[in-house]
Amino acid sequence: MTNPDKVNSISPPPLAAVAAGDAEGQTPAQGVGESDVMRRWKREDFLKKTSFALRSLCLVFSLLAFIIMATNNHGNGREFDDYEEYRYVLAIAILSTLYTGFQTFRQFHEISTGRDIIPGRNIMMLDFFGDQIVAYLLLSAASSAVPLTNHMREGADNIFTDSAASSISMEFLAFTTSAISAMISGYKLSKQSYI
């Protein structure tokens, strides 16, 4: 027979023995902890801010290319309207300004409020494909106008060709920032969870 007094004398382990904050008595797995989560959050925050900065730069460069080319009218056959290549540069600068203006506003809203204007996973696809398309259009427009500008500079180097070269340079810089932004968008898209 058992002594009923002895059975009741066994007491549960003291609460002080349980680790602080570990109410279930579990120990964290090795290699996974708060520091990994914090590094991931910091990396995602860094990517958001870098993408915002690159799109802001692309907006500035596109806007400058647009303004410089649109004001490149100096009379006597020296107007950008007379050349298809320069009209193409202007059109792509306008498209790039509109796209990057929208994306910059959207990202500023997301960074400042923590909520996205367009919810869902489709925004990552829009970011990636939009950045890719704009980058290729910018490169195409700038590349189409370089030979014409070089040919015109052989005859006479004047303010018209200098303005055209400045606009083309701004489009190349806009292309560079848009291409880097597209790489970041591609990285974010590849790290997206599909579950």
Specify which residues 79 forms β-bridges with.
73
- What are the pLDDT digits (tens) for 46-57? 888 899 999 999
**Which residue range is the domain that position 146 belongs to?**
39-190
Instruction: Look at residue 23 and tell me if it is in a domain.
Output: no
Instruction: Look at residue 22 and tell me if it is in a domain.
Output: no
Instruction: Look at residue 33 and tell me if it is in a domain.
Output: no
Strand, coil or helix: 127? helix
Instruction: Look at residue 135 and tell me if it is in a domain.
Output: yes
Question: Binning pLDDT at 50, 70 and 90, where does residue 155 land?
Answer: confident
- What are the pLDDT digits (tens) for 4-13? 555 555 655 5
Instruction: Look at residue 94 and tell me if it is in a domain.
Output: yes
Domain count, the chain: 1
DSSP letters for 150-190: HHHHHH---HHHHHHHHHHHHHHHHHHHHHHHHHHHHHHHH
Sign of CA dihedral 116, 118, 121, 127: negative
Could you tell me the pTM of the whole model? 0.75
Instruction: Look at residue 137 and tell me if it is in a domain.
Output: yes
% of residues, the chain, pLDDT over 90: 42
Sign of CA dihedral 80, 81, 86, 92: positive
Instruction: Look at residue 5 and tell me if it is in a domain.
Output: no
